[in-house]
Structure 1
Amino acid sequence: MKLFSERGILTKESPFEIAETSDVVITMLPSSANVLDVYTGPNGLLRSGNVLRPWLFVDSSTIDPQTSRRLSVAVSNCSLKEKKHNRETPVILDAPVSGGVLAAESGTLTFMAAKICNNLALAVSMLGISEGFALGQSLGISATTLTKIFNSSSARCWSSDTYNPVPGVMEGVPSSRNYDGGFASKLMAKDLNLATKSAEEVGVKCPLTSQAEQIFMDLCNQGQGTKDFSCVFRHFYSGKDET
């Protein structure tokens, strides 16, 4: 907070104080529990009761649908202190983002729907690519050669051509800096847990999701929770890195 205030950016001590001085509020938090605390906690954004100043809340957290619906009901039951944009009641948008740390740094994050489904597919594709690299390298094929093959064939995907998990193959990605920075494995495990629960609620079988969740939970239990999720490559391969 001090860092921002020293740069002339207005800061507040609590979400409630932010709501008292803002017309639009954007939140981006790690978990459903964090979101509920920030919105409905003792010093939350909705603490003032049924009359609010902000006319628009945008929650860019990746959380379960039930929490999003709960927040929607809570906000829709409020009214505005002053009518804004021809509205008498505030609005909350469920708007998770896509692009990860690289997009955040470049200012190209994209709002998206179906974030849990997207991250489910991302996790499974990263596991598949990591398995492919592990097998290929164990058979004596270099990661650089494998990357060229994958990216000119049907295996091509974001995990191979933009976010390669093998150290020494691609610059500027977490695998090139000991998997520091990026999207933490513990957050991927959290998202996969949300996907698993959502699948159970609607009766959809997602065996790959369940297995992926277990693998990322194992990484967290091994002390890799803060490392980028592409470190899952190490779950399959412990041989010599690309030079």
Structure 2
Amino acid sequence: MANIAFIGLGNMGGPMAINLVKAGHQVCVFDLSKEAVAHVVEQGATTQAQASDCVKDAEFIISMLPAGKHVEAVYLSENGLINHIAKGALVIDSSTIDSPTSISVGAALLAQGINFIDAPVSGGVGGAVAGTLSFMVGGSEADFNQAKPVLDNMGKNVFHAGDHGAGQVAKACNNMLLSVLMLATSEALQLGISNGLDASVLSNIMSKSSGSNWTLDVYNPCPGVMGNVPSSNDYQGGFMVDLMAKDLGLAMDTAVKSHSSTPMGALARSLYAMHAANGNGAKDFSSAFNLFNQKK
């Protein structure tokens, strides 16, 4: 079992850290929220007053932070963790950030003898709790192989996407596709409903036909079609609209840098930004269903 430091105990990071504790690892956690720290400590983790004290003896340092600026600050600022992590340790950054920032942070750590992979995740809070996340890893094959047994304790699918930054690009592609599928599924369901079809009947027809997809079959956006999904709980829980809008921004930045054509992604970003601006930022991203509701 490994000595692991876990930095960032939000909706995703907290459950991920708990699964590492359950797997038998020695886990030291740090977060600015005392409540978040206390919850994970109750499950068997330890903590320190400073993140630097958590990481100094760690073999693995896992971070789950909101944005690239936070990752840069945590690792590379004047008092950053780069000054406290032991040489030969492996940093696993599971934050969803832009690929260039991930590459630059990794390069700075490597220059100090600290290994690094970017390993953003897919699967949402439910996947974090259940330990069924998908990890998209960017880094060397050796570092991927070293990290995989640890990642396996938090997920069921661990992919080596390529070199540093590749995990972030894969995550951007996946979430761009997810957003487009959710919008298209919502539009199709609302079209059927507007023409007298029952949403459950139409969902069943499409799920058994060529329109089948994850947002329809597993995460249906129409209230009442499925239980235990955000659409049947007033779109509470799940993956927030604000976060989808952020991820689509990252995807569009990636497209600009590579001169890629992403008209569907650009439209999805515009629609989710509008949906967030209308006061829906904290709702689940499947609430985009209401963008196509002519009665609202």
TM-score category by the smaller chain? 0.7 to 0.9
User: Which residue does 2:255 correspond to in 1?
Assistant: 199
Greater CA deviation, 163-172 or 1-10? 1-10
Question: 1:60-97, CA deviations, whole angstroms, 9 ceiling, x for partnerless residues?
Answer: 11111101101111110113xxxxxxxxxx21111111
1:52 pairs with 2:119: no
8 Å CA contact 1:185–1:225 kept in 2: the answer is yes
**Structure-2 residue corresponding to 1:39:** 75
Q: How many residues align?
A: 228
Please list the CA deviations of residues 179-233 of structure 1 after superposition, one character each: whole Å capped at 9, or x if unmatched.
1111111111111111111111111111111111111111221121111111111
- Alignment partners' CA distance in 2, 1:54 and 1:10: 23
Note if contact 1:30-1:61 (Cα within 8 Å) is conserved in structure 2.
yes
CA contact (8 A) 2:87 2:112 kept: no
Q: Which has the higher contact order (CA 8 A, sep 6+)?
A: 1
Asked if the contact 1:21–1:53 (Cα under 8 Å) also holds between the matched residues in 2, the reply is no
Task: List structure 1 runs of 4+ shifted beyond 4 angstroms.
Answer: none
Which residue does the alignment assign to 1:94?
118
TM-score, normalised with respect to structure 1: 0.88
Cα RMSD (Å): 1.8
User: Quick check: 1:135 aligned with 2:169?
Assistant: no
Deviation at 1:42, TM superposition (A): 4.6
1:39 maps to a residue whose letter is Y
Aligned positions of 1:117-136 closer than 5 A:
117-136=173-192
Query: Which secondary structure does the structure 2 equivalent of 1:191 belong to?
Result: helix
Alignment CA distance shift 1:5-1:107 (3 Å): closer
Q: 2 CA distance for matches of 1:118 and 1:189?
A: 14
Residue in 2 that maps onto 1:4: 40
Counterpart of 2:233, as a letter, is R
Q: Distance in 2 between matches of 1:3 and 1:65?
A: 32
TM (norm. structure 2) is: 0.73
Residues in 2 aligned to 1:16 and 1:106: alpha-carbon distance in whole angstroms: 29
- Checking the alignment, whether the CA contact within 8 Å between 1:174 and 1:180 is kept in structure 2 is yes
Gaps of 5+ in 2: 1-36, 137-166
CA radius of gyration, larger in: 1
- 2:275 is aligned to 219
* SS of match in other structure, 1:105: helix
Distance between the aligned counterparts of 2:290 and 2:88, measured in 1? Answer: 46
Aligned partners of 1:26 and 1:127: how far apart in 2? 33
Unaligned runs of 5+ in 1: 80-89
Pick the structure with more strand per residue: 2
Partner Cα distance (1:7, 1:106) in 2: 15
Query: 2:11 matched to which residue of 1?
Result: none
Q: Cα distance, 1:17 vs. partner? A: 2.3
Give aligned-pair identity as a percent: 41
Q: 1:52 aligns to what SS in structure 2?
A: coil
SS in 1 for 2:225: coil
